Every structure is written in structure tokens, then in C-alpha cells.
Amino acid sequence: MQKDIIVVGAGPAGLMAGGRAASLGATVALLEKNSRPGRKLLITGKGRCNFTNDTDVDGLIAGMPGNGKFLYSAFSRFDSHDLREFFRELGVESKTERGKRVFPASGISKDVLRALVMYITKSGARLKCNSKVKEVVVSGKRVQGVVFSVGNGEAEFVPCDAVVIATGGITYAATGSTGDGFRIVKELGHTIVQPRASLIPLETVESWPREVAGLTLRNVQATLTVDGCKAGSEFGEMLFTHFGVSGPIILSLSRAAASAMVHAKPGITLTIDMKPALSREQLDARILRDFEKHGGQTILNSLADLMPRHLIDVILQEAGVSASKHISQVTREERLLIGKTLKELALHITGLRPDDEGIVTAGGVAVDEIDPRRMESKLVQGLYFAGEVIDIDGMTGGFNLQAAFSTGYVAGQSWAEGR
């Protein structure tokens, strides 16, 4: 079955690439090793699919700290407005929530996947599941075809003029992201920047987080330092877990932690300011007012208006103040220590959770070996890349999916336009 283009992987990047190429007249086959397409897409945004961020091109680049400038051309050709209009035309309206995060109006990720499958079907692309690509065949630095197998069957060679690698990264292996594309591409001579999980929960030396596991803190400021140097700071929501910490601002900060751990074992500290809106003096005045309000009660009861009940014991323990003390027994120095702990609650990071718990992969095909205007390999003619397989990664908030859709759009269109 001679094809113009074979797309390897039917996630968001692959579906966009295949649909775009087919809509421009190319004969396209999408080969997906899973039994159905878009498995990882279904679990994004906690099943709600935060597929982009309502910002301009500069904002999208800023949201991609991992080689965001490489994406300037792709974002300029297909930005968040274009993506929302694309889905609207396929019957999926969208809504913007906190942090400019964009979701389908229904809040159901299946609606996004259903629209993408409808798109490739209408465009004429052929989707073939349970098909695992083993090799991209190249001769004279030009793509000749792919070797793939169906199920446990024998390998089959299919000739084609172009191949789009859209195999994803190494996170959420159960959805099919097992790093296959990195092996295939490396065999063709491309450099693979060490893949690693990003946007991933952090493990701590301290065991007390498990005592408050499940507790969410909102409107806090978390700051990450690496060997004493500030590596990042985020305001928003976080979560304590049985192993340490997670939640949106922790995931954002985890990128700096992961980068620091690639070649070394640095000292990493997470400092939480639970009352960032208050100065030290203002917080002390607030604590004094609460002490006066609760009169002869214990300090444990007097702090219930200031912080979550489950966290009071932890704060007092970290401050070195007995929870059984009556307010009248608390010294000024102890009161100031409580305030200091609320502003500087420290956790020491020992490592990252397993790669499979990461949201996105950092690392991948080196961007200096890819033409950013076409997403085509500079080493092999007819070889294109889209999505997470490229060494690009972003923050939470829809940036990574927008990058997948934009690179997929450019990869599919570039070959079709230039043939």
C-alpha cells in the first residue's frame, strides 16, 4: 500500500499531522501501536483536556521553557486562537478558566478526541491501530518507507515518501508512551537529548507530609532553591501526599529540580510561604489578634482560623513550640517563630517520582537538527517530527498540548505543500 505520508503515533500531534496532510490531498496512513488512538489525551487535565492557553504567540513561547523559541514559527502558523477555531468547526466549543487554561465547554476530554478522529476520517487519512513501527527505512539520506508489524504478526515493509514521528515521550507508559520514537530516530543518526520526566511530583526527606496527605493549600508561594541558589518561584495551589508534594505549582517547579538532578545530586529545598499576602509584621499582628480572640485556650485551638487544622501540629512542631501550651504561656520569641515557620515552611527534596508519574517528557530529538519552519529533519529528507518526541517541554496550563497540535499542523502541511 504505497502512501505519501505515514504518521507514526495517533496521539494529538499525530492526529493533527495526519489530518492536515490528508486534507491537503496527501495519501496518509496513521500507524498506532495501541488498540485505539489518543489514550494519553483522554487523561490530560484530569480527564477534562486542557488543550491550550488563551494567550498570544509570545505567551505560548514563555509557557515553554524547554526550547520555546524553537516553536516561534509553529505557533505563528497555528496558535491558540486557530486551535480553538479548529475545534469549534468540529463541534467542540471551548471555555477559559483560571490561569487562561482552555478546556472543551463540556469538560470532557472524549469530545476532543472524538473531534480529532472525525477530522482524520473526513480528510481521508487511514487509521490503523495495533500497528507497531519497528524501523524507518532510509536510503541516500531520504525516507523510503517503514517496517511495522500488526499484533504479533510478521514485519511488513510499506513504501512512502515521508514519515512523521509523533510517538510521544516516556511518561504514562501505560498509554503507549514508552520511548519507541527515540530509538527509531537515533538509529537514523539523530541526537537524542536525555529524555526525563518533567511536571512531576517531588519526594521529600521529611515524613510529616504523609500525616497531612490529601491536604491542598491554595494561594501560597513556593520557592525552589538548588544548592542555595533560587531556581524558581510559583504562586497558586499545591498538595501534600504520602511521599512529599504535588499540585500545579509543584509540578511547575519540578522542571528546575529535574534539570538539576540530571548530572548531579544537588541540595534542593522547597520553601512554602503560606501567607504571601502578609508581611512578617502583618502576620505577627494577625497571630496576636487570634490569641486575644481565643483567650485562655491552648495555642493549638487559637490557630484554627489561620491555617488548616491538620497543619497546625506540623507548624508548631517545626517551630519548636508545644501544642499543649496555653496562649498566656507563649513567649514573644515563640510567637515570632510560628510566624517565621508560616512564611518559610521548608521541605528538602530527595528526588522525583517515577517517570511514569510525570505529565510531560523533557528531552528528545535535538531541535538544532530540525527545521523549525517545516518540522523536517535536517539529516534525512522526508522525515518530520511532531509533539513530545522533540526536545521541547512546557509548564502546566495547556502549553504542551498546544505545542503538539502546532508542530503536528506544520509537519502535516509542510510536506503536502512542498511535494
Query: In this predicted structure, what is the pLDDT of residue 54?
Result: 98
pTM of the model: 0.88
User: What CATH number is given for 201-352 in this structure?
Assistant: 1.10.8.50
The C-alpha atoms of residue 390 and residue 385 are separated, in whole angstroms, by 7
Quote the strand ranges of 309-404, DSSP E. 345-352, 360-365, 370-371, 376-377, 383-385
The C-alpha atoms of residue 327 and residue 305 are separated, in whole angstroms, by 15
**How many C-beta atoms lie closer than 10 Å to residue 98's C-beta?**
9
234, 235, 253, 258, 277 from 221: Cα distances, Å: 6, 4, 11, 20, 9
355 burial level (CB within 10 Å; 0-12, 13-18, 19+): buried
Query: In this predicted structure, what is the pLDDT of residue 46?
Result: 82
Give the residue extent of every domain in the chain.
3-197+360-418, 201-352
Query: In this predicted structure, what is the pLDDT of residue 260?
Result: 86
**How many C-beta atoms lie closer than 10 Å to residue 151's C-beta?**
8
Q: Percent of the chain having pLDDT more than 90? A: 80
Query: In this predicted structure, what is the pLDDT of residue 1?
Result: 58
Name which CATH class applies to 3-197+360-418: alpha beta
Segment holding 110, helix H or strand E? helix 109-123
The C-alpha atoms of residue 290 and residue 301 are separated, in whole angstroms, by 10
The list of the chain residues with pLDDT below 70 reads: 1-2, 419
Q: Are domains 3-197+360-418 and 201-352 of this chain identical in fold? A: no
Query: In this predicted structure, what is the pLDDT of residue 207?
Result: 95
